[in-house]
C-alpha cells in the first residue's frame, strides 16, 4: 500500500514538474525539445485520428462501451494510410493552410487561405463545404463563415483545423488568436470559432508546461465567459475536480446540460452532434481524465462518441506536444514510422516535411514577436491569455420543428412553415446516366417575394451543402417557401430531404406539457 502511494506521488510530481506558467520573463526552449514537441504534436494527431477513425459518428449521443473493441496493431497506421487515406482530413486540412504560410509567409491574408481551401480537390462537409460554396460564389471571409450565411457556423470544422496554429505559436496564445481570426472565420463563427481559438491556445501552452489541468484552465481565459462554449468547458473542469476518477459521469452531466444542437440542421432534434462545443468537451474530458497517459487520453476522447476520430486526434496531438514524441509509447509509433515520408492526400507534405516546416514557421513567429532564434535554442516572449471578442451564432433562435420531406422535384416545390427561420436540406440527384456537368439554377420565394437566385452544382466537390436557408424572417409566424428550378434537366432532380424550422420562442418542455 505504501509503495502504491509513493508511486502515485511520484507520478503527480512528474506531471507537475513544470507546472507553473509564468509570463513575466522570456521562456527558453532547447532546440531539441522544440523539435521533439513538434514531432509529438503531429504524430499524436495522426495516431489519434487513426485510432478513432472506425468509430466516427457511429456512436451518437452515447458512450462507446468498453466492451466495444477498437483495433490497433503494429502496422495499423501503415495499412490505414494505404487503404483509407481520406480519413486524415484533420491533418491535410491543416496542411493546406501550412502550405499557404510556407508560400506567402506568416502575413498571408485570409483571401489566400480561402482560395487554397475552396479550390482544393478534397471533399468537404458541414461548415467547410458551406464556406467553400460561399467563397466560390463571391461571399468571402469573414462573411463566408458568418452564421446567417452558413448554417454550420457552430460546427467542429475550424476546431479540427486549428492545431497548426497552436503548433507555430509556442507560448503565444494571443498571436495564435490572430491567426485564428484570419483562418477560422473562413468557415466558422461564434462557438464554432471558439473551438479553434481555445484548442489553439491549449497547444501554445502545451509547449510551456506539462501540468494538464493548469494548461486547460489557463487557456480558457481566451474565451469570453458569457459564451456557451466557455460555460461548457468550465462545467467539464468542475465535474473533473469533483470526481477525477469517473469520466463517464462527467460525460453524462455534460450531455444532459450541453448536448442539444441548435445550429447544424442535421443535429437538430437528433442524436447526431457535430457542434464544436460538445466535441471540445470530449477533448478536454480525454485530457483531464487521461491523466497524462497516452492511451487512456486517446481512448476516453474516442469513447465519448460523436466525432470520435477528430476528438482523439486533438487530445493526442496536445498530449504529444506536452510530452514530446520520444515519450509516446513505441506501441503506437511502429506503423507510423513506416509512413513518415508519404505525403498526406491532396498535399505535398509528409510527416517528416511538416516537422521541418513547422520548426521554420515557429522561428518566423518567435522573431516577429520579439523573441530570439539561436542554433541550440529559441527564446520566446510568452503571452498571457486574454479574452478574444464575444460573438454568438443563432442568437434568439430556437428549433421548433424537424420535418421529413423525402420530396424530389425538377420544377418547383411549395412548403409552409410556422416560425421565423428555415433550413431546407438536400442535394442534386442524378436519376439517369448523364455525363453533363449539370448546375441547377433556382429561384426562392418567401410569401410571394423573391429572396434569392442560387445555383446547385451536381459536382460533389462544389455542391451547395443545404438547398436553402433564411433566418430572422418577420413576422414570426406562418410563411410559404416556394422554390422554382429555372433550368430543369430530365436526368436530374432536386432531392429535398428534410426541413428544420426555428422560432423566437422555444418549445415548452415535454414534462411541462404533461403537468398542465
Query: Does 17 reside within a domain?
Result: no
On whether both 271 and 366 belong to a single domain, the answer is: yes
Q: How far apart are CA 476 and CA 456, in angstroms?
A: 28
On whether both 374 and 504 belong to a single domain, the answer is: no
The 3-state DSSP class for residue 350 equals coil
* DSSP per residue, 131-184: HHHHHHTT--TTGGGSTTT-TTTTBSTTGGG-HHHHHTSTT-HHHHHHHHHHHH
Contact 203, 173 (CB under 8 A): no
Q: How far apart are CA 159 and CA 182, in angstroms?
A: 14
Q: How far apart are CA 300 and CA 286, in angstroms?
A: 5
Question: What pLDDT, on the 0 to 100 scale, is given for residue 512?
Answer: 53
Q: How far apart are CA 489 and CA 438, in angstroms?
A: 8
Joined grid coordinates for residue 83: 487503404
Joined grid coordinates for residue 445: 420565394
Query: Does 504 reside within a domain?
Result: yes
Q: What's the pTM value of the predicted model, to 2 decimals?
A: 0.94
418-442 in b/e form (b: 16+ CB < 10 A) is: ebbbbbbbbbbeeeeeeeeebbbeb
On whether both 403 and 375 belong to a single domain, the answer is: no
CATH number at residue 430: 2.60.120.260
On whether both 292 and 360 belong to a single domain, the answer is: yes
**Parallel/antiparallel/unpaired status of strands 377-380 and 372-373:** antiparallel
139-173 in b/e form (b: 16+ CB < 10 A) is: bebbbbbbbebbbbbbbbbbbbbbbbbbbbbbbbb
Question: What pLDDT, on the 0 to 100 scale, is given for residue 86?
Answer: 87
Q: Is the peptide bond before 363 cis (omega within 30 degrees of 0)?
A: no
Query: Does 189 reside within a domain?
Result: yes
Last residue of a domain, one of 380, 406, 441: 380
The 3-state DSSP class for residue 348 equals coil
Q: Is the peptide bond before 193 cis (omega within 30 degrees of 0)?
A: no
Question: What pLDDT, on the 0 to 100 scale, is given for residue 3?
Answer: 38
Max distance between CA atoms of the chain, in angstroms, equals 79
The secondary structure of 370-384, three-state, reads CCEECCCEEEECCCC
Sheet strand arrangement including 27-30: 27-30, 377-380, 372-373
Contact 270, 403 (CB under 8 A): no
On whether both 100 and 164 belong to a single domain, the answer is: yes
Alpha helices in 1-88 (DSSP H): 2-15, 31-52, 76-83
* Residues paired with 332 in a beta bridge: none
Q: How far apart are CA 332 and CA 345, in angstroms?
A: 21
Question: What pLDDT, on the 0 to 100 scale, is given for residue 90?
Answer: 86
Query: Does 197 reside within a domain?
Result: yes
Query: Does 269 reside within a domain?
Result: yes
483 phi/psi in degrees, rounded to 5? -125, 125
Structural domain of 422: 398-515
Last residue of a domain, one of 380, 410, 426: 380
Q: How far apart are CA 393 and CA 150, in angstroms?
A: 10
Joined grid coordinates for residue 78: 501503415
Please say whether the dihedral angle defined by the alpha carbons of residues 158, 161, 164 and 167, taken in this order, is positive or negative: positive
Inter-helix orientation angle 228-242/247-258, to 10°: 150
Query: Does 63 reside within a domain?
Result: yes
On whether both 58 and 189 belong to a single domain, the answer is: yes
The 3-state DSSP class for residue 102 equals helix
Inter-helix orientation angle 173-184/110-118, to 10°: 50
* Cβ neighbours for 71, distance < 8 A, ≥ 6 positions apart: 54
Question: What pLDDT, on the 0 to 100 scale, is given for residue 507?
Answer: 93
On whether both 39 and 75 belong to a single domain, the answer is: yes
Joined grid coordinates for residue 231: 460555460
On whether both 272 and 421 belong to a single domain, the answer is: no
| 516 residues of the chain, pLDDT tens digit each | 333 333 333 333 333 334 569 999 999 999 999 999 999 999 999 999 999 999 999 999 999 999 999 999 999 999 999 999 889 988 999 999 999 999 999 999 999 999 999 999 999 999 999 999 999 999 999 999 999 999 999 999 999 999 999 999 999 999 999 999 999 999 999 999 999 999 999 999 999 999 999 999 999 999 999 999 999 999 999 999 999 999 999 999 999 999 999 999 999 999 999 999 999 999 999 999 999 999 999 999 999 999 999 999 999 999 999 999 999 999 999 999 999 999 999 999 999 999 999 999 999 999 999 999 999 999 999 999 999 999 999 999 999 999 999 999 999 999 999 999 999 999 999 999 988 899 999 999 999 999 999 999 999 999 999 999 999 999 999 999 999 999 999 999 999 999 999 999 999 976 655 454
Query: Does 364 reside within a domain?
Result: yes
Q: How many helices (H) and strands (E) does the chain have?
A: 17, 11
Alpha helices in 391-476 (DSSP H): none
Which one-letter DSSP state was computed for residue 275?
A: B
**Other Cβ atoms closer than 10 A to 100:** 19
Joined grid coordinates for residue 158: 475550424
The single residue listed with the C-alpha cell 449521443 is 61
On whether both 407 and 442 belong to a single domain, the answer is: yes
SS3 content of the chain, % helix, strand, coil (to 5): 45, 15, 40
CATH number at residue 187: 1.10.4080.10
On whether both 345 and 492 belong to a single domain, the answer is: no
On whether both 341 and 410 belong to a single domain, the answer is: no
Query: Does 315 reside within a domain?
Result: yes
On whether both 462 and 491 belong to a single domain, the answer is: yes
Task: Count how many domains the chain has.
Answer: 2
Amino acid at each position: 500500500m505504501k509503495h502504491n502511494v509513493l508511486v502515485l506521488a511520484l507520478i503527480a510530481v512528474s506531471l507537475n514538474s513544470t507546472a507553473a506558467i509564468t509570463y513575466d520573463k522570456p521562456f527558453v526552449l532547447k532546440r531539441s525539445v522544440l523539435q521533439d514537441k513538434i514531432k509529438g504534436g503531429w504524430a499524436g494527431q495522426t495516431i489519434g485520428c487513426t485510432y478513432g477513425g472506425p468509430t466516427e459518428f457511429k456512436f451518437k449521443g452515447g458512450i462507446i462501451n468498453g466492451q466495444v473493441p477498437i483495433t490497433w496493431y503494429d502496422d495499423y497506421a501503415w495499412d490505414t494510410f494505404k487503404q483509407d487515406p481520406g480519413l486524415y482530413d484533420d491533418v491535410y486540412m491543416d496542411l493546406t493552410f501550412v502550405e499557404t504560410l510556407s508560400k506567402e509567409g506568416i502575413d498571408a491574408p485570409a483571401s489566400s487561405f480561402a482560395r487554397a481551401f475552396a479550390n482544393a480537390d478534397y471533399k468537404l462537409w458541414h461548415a467547410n463545404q458551406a464556406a467553400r460554396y460561399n467563397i466560390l460564389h463571391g461571399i468571402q471571409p469573414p462573411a463566408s463563415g458568418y452564421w446567417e450565411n452558413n448554417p454550420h457556423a457552430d460546427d467542429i470544422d475550424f476546431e479540427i483545423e486549428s492545431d497548426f496554429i497552436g503548433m507555430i505559436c509556442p507560448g503565444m496564445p494571443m498571436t495564435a488568436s490572430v491567426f485564428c481570426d484570419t483562418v477560422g472565420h473562413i468557415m466558422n463563427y461564434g462557438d464554432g470559432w471558439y473551438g479553434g481559438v481555445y484548442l489553439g491556445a491549449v497547444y501554445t501552452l502545451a509547449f510551456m508546461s506539462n501540468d494538464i489541468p493548469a494548461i486547460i484552465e489557463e487557456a480558457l481565459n481566451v474565451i469570453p465567459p458569457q459564451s456557451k462554449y466557455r460555460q461548457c468547458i468550465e462545467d467539464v473542469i468542475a465535474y473533473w475536480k469533483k470526481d477525477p476518477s469517473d469520466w463517464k459521469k462527467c460525460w453524462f452531466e455534460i450531455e444532459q446540460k450541453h448536448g442539444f444542437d441548435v445550429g447544424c440542421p442535421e443535429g437538430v432534434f437528433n442524436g447526431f452532434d457535430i457542434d464544436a462545443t460538445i466535441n471540445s468537451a470530449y477533448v478536454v474530458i480525454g485530457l483531464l481524465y487521461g491523466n497524462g497517459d497516452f492511451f487512456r487520453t486517446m481512448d476516453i476522447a474516442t469513447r465519448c462518441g460523436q466525432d470520435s476520430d477528430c476528438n482523439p486526434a486533438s487530445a493526442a496531438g496536445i498530449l504529444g506536444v506536452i510530452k514530446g514524441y520520444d515519450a509516446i509509447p513505441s506501441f503506437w509509433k511502429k506503423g507510423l514510422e513506416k509512413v513518415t515520408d508519404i505525403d498526406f492526400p491532396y498535399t505535398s507534405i509528409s510527416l517528416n516535411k511538416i516537422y521541418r516546416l513547422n520548426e521554420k514557421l515557429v522561428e518566423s513567429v518567435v522573431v516577429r514577436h520579439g523573441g530570439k532564434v539561436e542554433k541550440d535554442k529559441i527564446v520566446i516572449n510568452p503571452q498571457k491569455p486574454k479574452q478574444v471578442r464575444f460573438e454568438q451564432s443563432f442568437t434568439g433562435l430556437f428549433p421548433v420543428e424537424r420535418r421529413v420531406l423525402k420530396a424530389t422535384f425538377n420544377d418547383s416545390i411549395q412548403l409552409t412553415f410556422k416560425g421565423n427561420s428555415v433550413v431546407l436540406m438536400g442535394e442534386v440527384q442524378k436519376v439517369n446516366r448523364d455525363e453533363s456537368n449539370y448546375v441547377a439554377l433556382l429561384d426562392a420565394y418567401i410569401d410571394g417575394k423573391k429572396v434569392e437566385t442560387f445555383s446547385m452544382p451536381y459536382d460533389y466537390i462544389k455542391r451547395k451543402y443545404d438547398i436553402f436557408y433564411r433566418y430572422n424572417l418577420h413576422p414570426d409566424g406562418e410563411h410559404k417557401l416556394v422554390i422554382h428550378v429555372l433550368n430543369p434537366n430530365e436526368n436530374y432532380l432536386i432531392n429535398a430531404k428534410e426541413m428544420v424550422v426555428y422560432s423566437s420562442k422555444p418549445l415548452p418542455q415535454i414534462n411541462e406539457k404533461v403537468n398542465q
